[in-house]
Amino acid sequence: MRRCCTFNQLKIAILISCAYYALALLGVYQTVSAQGIAIVWLANAVILSALLILPYRQWPLILMGTLLAEIAADIPTFPLWTAASFGFTNILEVTLAATLIRRVSGENFDFDKLRRGGYFLLFGPLIACALAGLIGATINIKLGNSVLDYSKFWLVWWFGDALGLILLTPMIVVVWRLLEKGIPKIPNKIIFEATLFSLTLIFIGIYAFSGKHEQLQFLISPLLLLSLGIYAAIRFGVLGATFTVTIVAMLAVYQLTREIYPYSTTSVQQAVWLTQEYLALISVVSVGLAILMREINNQRRALEEKEYALRMHNSTLESHVYDRTLLLEKANNALHEANIQLAHIASVDELTGIANRQHFRTEAQRELNRLKQDNQTASMILIDLDYFKRVNDTYGHGAGDFVLQSIAEPIRQSLRPKDLLGRMGGEEFFILLSETDLNSATNIAERIRLALESLVLNYDGNLIKITASMGVAELNKHENWSNLEDLDDLTRRADQALYRAKEHGRNCVETATE
């Protein structure tokens, strides 16, 4: 694995060195004016891009290849010591720029934020190139073949290197990062627009730097070409902007090397400076705008992704809330049903299914209070089964329970829906008849007695007959309404009538006396 990695690193270093060598030859033979003044140096952009992207462990191989490529490109024109000095100068320039840029902007450098573009511009074209220019100017002065003095040559070197970095570095880095992610499919509409734009750019660029009609070109060059650079930045991003300024720079340099200037000038040096300044201006504006647009788009996409994630999170929360609400509703319904069942259990006699003693007393007292307020009467019937103990003793307690369960329905059939029926306990039952006088209550009691007397109950093949004694009492209305008797008084008087019925031989109905 280590050998494979080393071999891949070596291949990358060789490819970068070859690219440097090709651009160095271009710089030596194609971007130098007839007077020997370099206009733009593009080779350093390749090395700086590699150092900004590749890990530090690959730097030594890349820088060694850079030195060899520089010497190979310069040796036909310069002495060996000069070529080596130029190589070390360029290595110092790109190493210093890459180190500072990566230190302040972080790893995985890309032209995706305006802040990173600013760091590149500051530490690369401004600082590193200026320092390299000082060394390069010194070397040329030592050679003694420069047509310029030290300060002017320093400026030319500085601007040439800076312009090369500005022109190519963003494009190389963006393309490199694009290849790492995978080339996206480009719509045909964009391809057609880019092709038409490129042809327009070349046509206007050739005309702008043709040297004819100098005043006209002086207006066209800054305005139209800068406008095209801005358009490329907006429509095609950083890659389109760098491609645009590179085409403009190639056209400008081509004309300058043939001493064709689109503006009035007194010297080659001034023409080179003006061209370098203009190319730097259009590069900074176009590429800077493209980086800004890219950063805005990235932020917009990040916001959209966060918004989408927030919507999904809210949707998940809503789903959870909905599920919890359903569960809560089910739990509430179950609780409500349980409460109903508990209330039913608390109010109903388990054996007979009618109201138990406590529930009957509560409802009966509430009904008496209402009747008193409405100046209505009521009657109470107490029922006691005759000789019920014999049933338990003869047939067992199961038979007794069966008898109690069997008599509830016949009693209920003799009553109205508003009448109250309850079990007092054992074989005794309450009945409260609303708005019923003593005579009517006595007739109802007699009807119930006859219904019970006619019952023939079959329990495990045993035929059981029962009878019941009953006492009836009417709400006492002879007193003032405010002093009327309560449920206990009414029950007491009905119980006294029941006691007389048992004394009179059972299976009969007795009424309470006033």
Radius of gyration of the chain (CA): 55
CA atoms within 13 A on the CB side of 302: 6
CATH 1.10.1760, the chain: domain bounds? 1-184
Structure tokens that stand for 61 in this block: 């191989």
CA–CA distance, 360 with 160 (Å, rounded to integer): 109
101 and 123 Cβ atoms separated by less than 8 Å: yes
Pick the more confident residue, 138 or 252.
138
The pTM (predicted TM-score) of the whole model is 0.58
CA atoms within 13 A on the CB side of 399: 20
CATH 3.30.70.270, the chain: domain bounds? 357-511
Q: What is the pLDDT of residues 118-176, one digit of tens each?
A: 898 899 999 999 999 888 888 877 776 555 677 877 888 888 888 888 888 888 888 88
Please state, as a whole number, how many other Cβ atoms lie within 10 Å of the Cβ of residue 499: 15
CA–CA distance, 473 with 469 (Å, rounded to integer): 14
CATH number, domain 1-184, options 1.20.950, 3.30.70, 1.10.1760, 3.30.460: 1.10.1760
Q: What is the pLDDT of residues 80-117, one digit of tens each?
A: 888 888 889 999 999 999 999 999 988 888 888 888 88
23 and 42 Cβ atoms separated by less than 8 Å: yes
What angle in degrees, to the nearest 10, is found between the helix axes of 357-373 and 487-503? 110
Could you list the beta-strand ranges (E) of 401-503. 420-425, 428-434, 456-459, 462-465, 468-474
CA–CA distance, 281 with 359 (Å, rounded to integer): 98
Question: Which residues is 456 bridged to in the sheet?
Answer: 465
CA atoms within 13 A on the CB side of 480: 2
Model confidence at 213: pLDDT above 60: no
What distance lies between CA 170 and its chain's CA centroid?
A: 34
DSSP state of 482: G
Q: Assess if CATH 1.10.8.60 describes domain 357-511.
A: no
Q: What is the pLDDT of residues 452-486, one digit of tens each?
A: 999 999 998 889 999 999 999 998 765 444 444 67
Model confidence at 79: pLDDT above 70: yes
Model confidence at 1: pLDDT above 50: no
Model confidence at 370: pLDDT above 80: yes
Average pLDDT, the chain: 83
Q: How confident is the model at residue 247 (pLDDT cuts 50, 70, 90)?
A: confident
